[in-house]
Structure 1
Amino acid sequence: MNTRASSKRGAIEPAKRQASKRARPASWEEVRANQTSSDDDSDDGSGADELELRLFLAKTMRADLWPLSQTPPARSVALDRAGPWGAAASGVVIQDCEESAKGKGVFVTRPIGSGSFVGLYVGEVCTQRMRNLRHYDRQGLHAPTVYEQRDLDARMARLDSLSADQGKPAGGSHNGGAYVFSLLPEASEAVEKHLETAANDELLSCIDAEDPSRSSWGRYTDDH
């Protein structure tokens, strides 16, 4: 009797686990498809939004492969304006745009085929929180820590002390993220809402090339 009961439980429990595993949604689309407002009027879809966020964060970890045969250069080499990654070596020149309001821009000095690797976009790698503290509405964010505020104050003083010839960003320290290159894939409204108020200091969000002393000529490109 006990043997049969034990054997029966042993047959049923794996089946339950397998059924549970099969029922677990594998994607955000599947969750959305299974949701109906008639099931529970109080359901706001937060479960689907949470899964979507997890899938989004997982996607950000899939870095693109370096496209060239040589290894990526050290930061000091990448920022050397006269070096192999400088504007001249990359076949571009930095000069004033025809419309003075646009400031300086990148202009090619030789034919460059579509899809070609032109150069590096080097700058300060920022977390989502730092990007928001620097450039965007802070509503929903925790107040800056002492260390964050110290860095923010130093940044403002550094950028606002520059002249146009020294590469001062348009708008100075209040440039609205004009020099930000996003590292994140396209996100839905639900994920964007979370990211804009995230206190996550580990999610690398962007490359900020506003500071000419910490960025490459790529900061002058206008297609970020």
Structure 2
Amino acid sequence: MKLTLIGIGTGNPEHLTLQAVRAMNAQDLILIPHKGATKDDLAQLRRDICGQVITNRSTQLVEITLPVRNESTADYRKRVDDWHDAIAQVWQAAIAQHPGAENVALLVWGDPSLYDSTLRIAARLHPALKIEVIPGITSLQGLTAAHATVLNEIGAPFIVTTGRRLRDEGWPLGVDTVAVMLDGTCAFQTLPPDGIDIWWGAYVGMKEQIIESGPLADVCEKIIARRADARAAHGWIMDIYLLRKS
């Protein structure tokens, strides 16, 4: 059996590459993860994308319910490892119910290589399993496109990090540009704002897209408020931002 991990961009069906469309139509089985009622939009988006591009009537869509991460363990890495083990077991059980499926796929937000654990979870399955990766447009690309800006200054490095690390460790050393993902607490508000510009976006590339930019001191509170309103309206939020020292 072959497991194909297909990058589907940030939720816009037009982000699919021709390679992704061909791969989706070559599958016997596509697993659709479900993360509970508050995030049903994410599962529905995957179903909608499949409905728009799959013409192979033999391709089956199978919804799977993902386990919730146990937050009671103090060790963050152990919490994540245990959670990934549990997800791998759910995948395996779903695949086992379709013994005739030779080509199975998962649709991955953005690209499987960037702050996504699908490849790590797939590695927990049978060692003989062949894994194929189809790249996709990332939220970083969606963000810079939405703001018509670039990630890096000429010849300069940048760092991609998480909100937790920005909050706990402050501005990374040696760079003037920081891209921040997986930030549930608006970690940018912990930084001294003077001399920092921000480009922020939520649901980038989707019809719900909202963006803000400007000096951090000027737009910090506005971003926090817009983020809270959007999360309340949709029940979930996926956002990302770029910070640069002036």
TM-score, structure 1 as length reference: 0.22
Structure with greater proportional helix content: 1
Larger Rg: 1
Structure with greater proportional strand content: 2
TM-score, structure 2 as length reference: 0.21
